Structures are given as C-alpha cells and as structure tokens.
Structure 1
Amino acid sequence: MAASQPLNKDTAYWGVPWEDAYGYPQARRVGNEIHVSGQFNHDQDGNLVAPAPLDTDGRPSDFSAMGEQMRASYANIAKLLALYGATLQDVVEETLYVLDMDAAFAVVGKVRKAAYGTERPQCASNIIGVSRLAQRPQLIEIACKAVIGAGASGR
C-alpha cells in the first residue's frame, strides 16, 4: 500500500486496517499547513519494521531497534508530505513519543540529522516518554506539523 488521497486532496491514508478501526487520516492539509498523525515503523503493506521482541507480559524487552524504527517513521512522514508537494524540510514542529528515553537519546541525534539532511534540523522538537504505544512491538511514534514552502524560506 502506498500513501494515497482517496477521499479528497486534503486527507491522506495508508490503507491500513487501523485507519478504519480507529477512524482517522494519516495526514490532513489545512491551508498551507500539513498535520501528520503519529507515524511509526510500518512498511507499505502495514507490516512492522524491526518490531521489538516482547516479554511474557507483552511489553518490549529489547530497545535496540529504536533507530531502525525511527528511520522507518521518518520515511513514512516523508512519503505523506510528498503527497502535498512538501518535504521534511517543511516540518516546523515534531513530537517523538518513546517507550525508553535512554534508547531514544542514544540514536535520536544521528537519525534526525540524517532524516532532515542537516546537522541542525530547523524544526521545534519535543520528546515525550510514554508507557505504551498503539502496537505492542512499537518503540517510537512521531507526529509533526509542516508548512508548505517553509523549507524554501531559507530555514
């Protein structure tokens, strides 16, 4: 499944089951702003990329896939933004939700810089530790807001 805009040009979907179950689009454009719902480590078919192994209670037992999950999340954001003619350089604010702050801090700088293609990404950034995310093997989720054309304004 590729990101698409089946209902109208202002909303985007992956076509994954949880969109219908929960009832939401992956992204929505309002004027020149794009609001991207939390993106995580799934591929085009909705399969998890680098899922964390779970313990007997169904909680992640190893956080070493944080970087790979983070890269997949940024790749999904980039694909959604492209539907509107935007790129990661147009992102003005992001929020990272993570299960383990230490594992996130070990990789976040390198992964963010690579995703944004610069040593100093020009977007406000928040990182919040949470106790659980939507998919049990998920370690990170990233939501963001982009402004079309912000990347071209000399940021």
Structure 2
Amino acid sequence: METQSFGVPWEEAYGYVQAVKHGDTIYLSGQLSHSGADFVAPAPVADGRVTDFSAMEAQMRQTYVNAAELLSRFGASLDDVVEEVLYVLDIPAAFAAAGPVRKEAYGRPDPQVASTLVGTPGLALPEQLIEIKFIARV
C-alpha cells in the first residue's frame, strides 16, 4: 500500500492522507480548492454561511488540478478515474460549472467516468463550495 499527502495543516488536524493506492486502485480523499495551505477562490461567508456561490467554477477547476497532481504521483492521470463524487453546497451552481470544467479536466466532450453530484448543507471549511472524491484504476 502506498500513500500520498500534500502536507497541509488539515491533514494532521483531522488525521488522514490524501491518497491511498492499494493494488491497482487509487482512492483519493475528498479534494478541495487549495494551492498548498492557501484556499483558492474562497466563497464569501457572513454569519457562518456562504453568501455567494459564483466561485464554484474556479473552486471546481482547482479541485481537479489537485486530483491530477495526486494521481500523477502514482503514475496515473484523470484518464484512469472510474468514479467521482462531487459534494457541493449549491446544486444549480455546481451543475452549471460541471459540464465545462469536467470536460476540460478530462480532456474530452464525454468524460468516461461514473459521476455523482450530491448536495450537502456543509463542508469542512467555511469558504468551501465543493469537495470531490475520486477512485482510479491503473
């Protein structure tokens, strides 16, 4: 079994790794929109609630960049992803962004991946709009 992490503070705080390769399968923990320990395109928050979902596309794009980075550490790519689950705070905003962003990330007009979009009332970080979990086979 091999593991990978980004070395961000929340890995130690929560106690997990970003990716695990077991046999020919790579499991990615839910990926966020960050570069190092800095959040990318944070959503505005007031009174503990997101007030604007317009950063969904930017957050989604960075999340796929992070997933691709982790997969590359195992010699894999988004082409090897067989399943993804997108957890989002706002389904309409995510659905509007998902088509163009996913097609760009997977490099084709018809991404060959099983995909589930799930609305949730909250995510780990207050300014977070999306988290994506991936499973890849190599």
TM-score, normalised to structure 2, is 0.98
By relative contact order (CA 8 Å, sep 6+), the higher-ranking structure is 2
CA distance in 1, matches of 2:98, 2:48: 25
Other-structure match for 1:47: 38
In terms of fraction of residues, the more strand-rich structure is 2
Q: Please report how far the alpha carbon of residue 74 of structure 1 lies from its aligned counterpart in structure 2 after TM superposition.
A: 0.2
Deviation string 1:58-100 (CA, Å, 9 cap, x unpaired) is 1110000000000000000000000000000000000000000
CA distance in 2, matches of 1:19, 1:54: 23
Q: How many residues align?
A: 138
Is there any run of 5+ residues in structure 2 with no aligned partner, and where?
none
Match of 1:109 among 99, 103, 106: 99
CA distance in 2, matches of 1:106, 1:52: 17
Deviation string 1:75-128 (CA, Å, 9 cap, x unpaired) is 000000000000000000000000000111111100000000000000100000
Other-structure match for 2:119: 129
Task: Let me know the Cα RMSD of the aligned residues.
Answer: 0.8
2:13 matched to 1:18?
no
The share of aligned pairs that are identical, in percent, is 55
CA distance in 2, matches of 1:28, 1:106: 31
TM-score, normalised to structure 1, is 0.88
Is there any run of 5+ residues in structure 1 with no aligned partner, and where?
1-8, 149-155
The structure number with the bigger radius of gyration is 1
CA distance in 1, matches of 2:120, 2:13: 22
- What amino acid does structure 1 have at the position aligned with 2:58? E
